[in-house]
Amino acid sequence: MSINDKTKWRENELSYEQVLDKYPDIPPIVALKIDVSRRGISYTDKAFAKVDPNVHHVEPYDYMIGHGQNVSPIGLFLRDGSVICQAHSKVYDWTYRDPYILDVVDDKLVIVDNDKVYEEAWFWEKPDFYDKFTSNGTPMRMVASARPQRITIAPATKCHFWDNPKEGCKYCALFSGHRAANDEGDIRDDKWFQDVEETVKEAIKQKGRYASYHMTAGSTLSGAEIFDDEVDLYINTLHAAEKAFKVKKFPVKLVASAFSKKQLRRMYEETAITTYTTDLEVLNKDLFGWVCPGKAKHVGYEEWKQRLYDAVEIFGRGNVDCGIVGGVEMAQPNGFTDEKEALKAVLSEAEEIASHGVSFAECVWNTLPGAIFMRQKTPSLEYYVQLALGLAEVRRKNGLNIYTDDYRRCGNHPNTDLARID
């Protein structure tokens, strides 16, 4: 029995084609990216046969959640130069919608749904540094990861909001896989900082590959003031990376906890950092407490917002970004049940926050194994298309840029892809 035979999801929401007809301002390729992000994409054997680990960027296919075994490419290029950040999607007994299919037709990789070919796609390519080792013998691929145009260092793989049961963000499968781990994998001594320096130096030998240095990690709550230890770790890691560059400031995208003004000033004044992102995740105070209980307990929704505004004072309008998990406001039983009401509430709150100089980067909520919300039903494509268009309009209206999280420097946000034609 197919998934649709079981859930009848296709009968209950507008199809991709119907959404395009109803919303002519959404580029079809962006709508497809949204839908693939929402539903996932499963590779056929023929598609997997096209993978050459010596050429293509592969990782354990569920490496983001920490228990992968087989390898899969982790992303696809589309013909407009944008990307889809999706590895092979497995189907589970709770999967509500059929994933798209990545198949091979006429020797080309193509994205298929219901036997219809929608777009050609290409695998991302492997970074040169992935085969190299630091002088300490550490594989560089263990020190940094990459997207087609950015290098990422994650100094801490554990998110301490998970330290207390049920306080991690409920949609999250990124850190939930590590929630039972201790910090043994995160020893950040002089040897590790040397590894960072050598890896970044090696990476940027690949000319034209990187347009952004990205740092992110799980939240570390410890320190004299909450997040002080996290700030120290980022500063020390950035100092190691800075040795690879001849300029004081370079394009650094930091996605981190909501730091205090004092902590932000330290980051800005002591490091190369140029932009800062901290994620409210869900733009609703009540739902924030339910979806992100750790963030709500240790910082709080209003304080998180205030810290975003404080960051604008330091980094400037458009250089501060707020990530959201688009659609999670409809998680049940506490979320919105009506898509129109949800959209109105989210965009209204986005407008208020953007008026303070904060841009938005929307990820499409996808229910992943390991997340508390893994059995939830995500909203319709129509909802996501309206959300992407609405957030793009909020950004335009407030005269904000989104370079730090655009299609090149990130690639995982439909609303920022739309900025390519502004």
Partner 1 sequence: MADIISKELKDIIADPNTLKVLATVDKNGVPHVVFKGSFHVNEEGNLVFYEVLESAQSNKNLVHSIWFDKKVAINILSADKQSFEIVGKPLKSITAGREFEKTYIALRESKGDIDLAAIWIIEPEQIKNETFSVRVSEDEEKYPILKHLDRLFVQ
Residues that bind partner 1 (CB under 8 A): 27-30, 77, 79-82, 122, 124-125, 148-149, 206-209, 407-408, 420-422
DSSP summary character for residue 282: S
Supply the minimum distance, in Å, between the C-beta of residue 127 and partner 1. 11
In terms of CB distance, is 129 or 304 closer to partner 1?
129
Q: What is the smallest separation between the CB atom of 30 and partner 1, expressed in angstroms?
A: 7
CB count within 10 Å of CB 2 equals 8
Calpha distance 422→413 (Å, rounded): 16
Q: What is the CA radius of gyration of the chain?
A: 21
Unique residue bearing structure tokens 């909001």: 161
The encoded tokens of residue 344 equal 């109105």
Virtual torsion, Cα 179, 180, 183, 186, nearest 10 deg: -60
Residue with structure tokens 């409210």? Answer: 280
Q: How far is the CB of 240 from partner 1 (least distance, A)?
A: 25
Nearest to 217 by CA among 245, 192, 243: 192
Side chain identity at 83, as an amino acid letter?
Answer: V
Residues 145/154, Cβ–Cβ less than 8 Å: yes
**DSSP 8-class letter at 108:** E
- Residue indicated by tokens 């898509």: 339
Q: Are 263 and 227 in contact (CB under 8 A)?
A: yes
Compare residues 27 and 369 and give the one whose CB is closer to partner 1: 27
Phi-psi region of 334 (alpha: psi -120 to 50; beta: other; left: phi over 0): alpha
DSSP state of 133: B
The smaller minimum CB distance to partner 1, of residues 382 and 406, is found at 406
Angle at 71 between CA 65 and CA 76, to 5 degrees: 85
Smallest gap from residue 154 Cβ to partner 1 (A) = 21
Shortest distance, position 260 Cβ to partner 1, whole Å: 34
Give least dist CB 28 to partner 1, A.
7
- Taking the complex as a whole, how short is the minimal distance between the CB of residue 79 and partner 1, in angstroms? 5
CB closer to partner 1, 206 vs 332? 206
Give SS3 for 236. helix
In the complex with partner 1, which residue's Cβ is closer, 206 or 222? Answer: 206
Taking the least distance from each CB to partner 1, the nearer of 29 and 345 is: 29
> Judged by CB, which is closer to partner 1: 66, or 414?
414
Judged by CB, which is closer to partner 1: 30, or 328? 30
Residue 124 CB, shortest distance to partner 1, in Å, is 8
